[in-house]
Amino acid sequence: MGADAKSIYFDSTATSVAALWTPGAVGTYTLSYYTTASTNTGAMSTTSRTTGTLSGLIRVTVVAASVGGAYSAANSVCNLALSSTTATGTDASGSSARNNGLYGYINFSLADAYSVALSAGYPLVATATNGAIVNIGSSIGSAAGSTSVSVAAPQTSIVVAQPTANAPVTTTVTLTYNGTTVCTKTLTIRGEISKMTVTPLITQSTGAGARTVASNLGYALSGGVFTLDTFDSAGNKVIPVTSDGATIASTAAFAAVTGSVDTIVSAYSIGSVATGVASTDATGLWPLSSSLGLATCAKAGSNSNLQLSYQNPVSGTVITSNKATLKCAGDPYSYTASWDKASYVQGEIATLTVQFKDVAGNAAASSTTGSSAAVISAPQMTITATPGASKNANASGAVVHTFTVGTGSGVIEGSYNALVDYGTLTAVAATVQSVPYKVSTGISSVSNADVLKSIVALIASINKQIQALQKLILKR
């Protein structure tokens, strides 16, 4: 207890244990309570007051003036959330961007410097930009149409809503306590779908059902031949939802526009609807998710009228996508190969493109069927990346193999030929491709003949100078 430390004794007949203690100065003190079976008070004298068993202690901080009941930023927390609940101080995943029709929530907890919750009657004001509706409480309630709400009683949440139904809003909400800013949070509530974009990914096969989009194409998708992305009027990427704003719409929510199928693409539809995940795109507003489209090809060719429609569940507004071209072709039957350059210098990157063709000679469908991994021989090259057996056809029915020019022992300059053999195709009708190229070290070299030629030229130049000098001497 510092300089004023002292001992107080209670005998076995005491019915309560209490004592009045007055601190001597500002500081932190420890009040310790010891018990012993000894009847000798000397066993716990002022010089050995810790004799016995420690039964409890209290640490007391004495200050010059109390700050109890006053707002402390260090001991208060605030966070975005998916519902009105206890504040954690950490924004909940997905809470910064909400679906059309859902509310945004900001939970908070205010305390004083002693971590004691502030009592009733503290003045709170919440304001929101861009006309967003806010209310301090667990629901919007009577705050509809208002952008600033003040209360005189303790609360734990702020609710945020769209100022216009089905329209997107991005707002910054500021909470103040008695004029002091407690926290500032920015969130987006997306609007309904106002734009749809169809993007073909691969060339569909005429010989089978919808292809699987392999991860090598740059899409982490489980299947489909085209993607459908949906956006609100502010350009925020959204997902199709039902009227409650929380349930994902069914694939039946989309329909092929009348007249958009033909004798080439006989049918198409949405096979799966985009769902939200934790990661976000560059805007931070919504995950990189897309709805996946399936198609049925009746014969080889192109359909440039691929178009889908969607009806928003609340407003009933119908949105149609852009027209996209979907290609149909046969499976790989033959192939050609080519380098991106005719000659290379040691250390450069070389790419070898293999173009698959169907039986009619057109660019083949994006498929692994009939085009297993290649056996490639490329002297003076070291392969660094190959599509492999399961990733050997991109959207144009081609694959790219990547090499570095040179080997572990260097480069031998000269002309070479790469041999490209896709065994399952060459075993039927295709031909092993021989692709010429040149490699060099990039260091200029001079032959003996060039050196001799230079010496002869130098001697001739010197002889001419000597003759000119002799003529000058004779004139004198």
DSSP 202: S
H-helix segments, 192-347 = none
At residue 461, the pLDDT reads 87
H-helix segments, 124-230 = none
The two most distant CA atoms of the chain are separated, in Å, by 145
pLDDT-flagged residues of the chain (< 50)? 1-3, 143-145, 152, 209-210, 212-222, 278-287, 369-370, 389-392
**Considering the entire predicted model, what is its pTM?**
0.69
Instruction: Report pLDDT digits (tens) over 321-341.
Output: 999 998 888 888 899 999 999
At residue 432, the pLDDT reads 96
Return the SS3 of 263: coil
Nearest to 79 by CA among 158, 171, 176, 181: 158
C-alpha–C-alpha distance, residues 301 and 44, integer Å? 101
Instruction: Report pLDDT digits (tens) over 96-148.
Output: 999 999 999 999 998 888 888 877 556 788 889 999 999 888 777 654 445 55
C-alpha–C-alpha distance, residues 190 and 166, integer Å? 8
DSSP string, 200-238: E-SPEESSSSPPP--GGGT---SS-SEEEEEE-TT--EE
Return the SS3 of 319: strand
